[in-house]
Amino acid sequence: MSSPPSVQGPSKNQLVTATHEFDEIDLRILTALQRNGRMSNIAISQIAQITAPPTLRRTRTLEGKGIIRGYRAEIDARKLGFEVLAFVFVGLVSQSNRDIKAFEHVVQFWLPVRECYSLSGETDFLLKCVAKNLTELQGFVTNTVMKTAGVRSVKTAFSSHIVKHEPTVPLSQVAAPPPLGAARKPRLQPSSR
């Protein structure tokens, strides 16, 4: 009777997350797509250093696992007339689950809000908002945000200019595995003094 096959863990050339095992090829694919989401599969395969069919399979796997959440054009809001970028800090009367969920639901329908973050500390939510002018933003804050049930406090900060805009993940900080086939460095033996 033969013994059952052993179950092996990830190799040393893989980074394991709760949902996916990464290797350097995955990181190359992600880096290429972060630079240019319209890059062809053949161009990506050249960067990934594998042929086109496995590149496509890996890309589809990254999409299927939700690691690649989508592809979209990055649009300059100012060139479309949205001159104001502001951050609105919202404090709720209560931090009960019901009140938080109610606010999270209503904020989905506010068009000026482009991003909403739940925070810890004295501010419960941070809203990133765009508007065509100050009057439009002030009207939104006064007539919508401040009049929403459960809102205790609202503070607004306007952006004078953007210092850094990097809407990507810092893939260079991911614990990248050594290159495939790379020789491992020998360990230094402790001195026996």
Per-residue confidence (pLDDT) for residue 192, from 0 to 100? 47
List the domain boundaries for the chain. Answer: 15-71, 77-158
Can you list the residues of the chain whose pLDDT is less than 50?
Answer: 1-16, 180, 182-193
List, for residues 145-184, the tens digit of each pLDDT value. Answer: 999 999 999 999 999 999 999 988 988 887 655 554 544 4
pTM of the full predicted structure? 0.74
The reported pLDDT for the residue numbered 145 is 98
Q: Are 15 and 21 in contact (CB under 8 A)?
A: yes
Q: What angle do CA 75, 76, 79 make, to 5 degrees?
A: 125
Q: Look at domain 77-158 and name its CATH class.
A: alpha beta
> Could you tell me what percentage of the chain is helix, strand and coil, using 3-state DSSP and rounding each to the nearest 5?
35, 20, 50
| CATH T-level fold of 15-71 | Arc Repressor Mutant, subunit A (1.10.10)
Phi/psi at 4 (5° precision): -65, 150
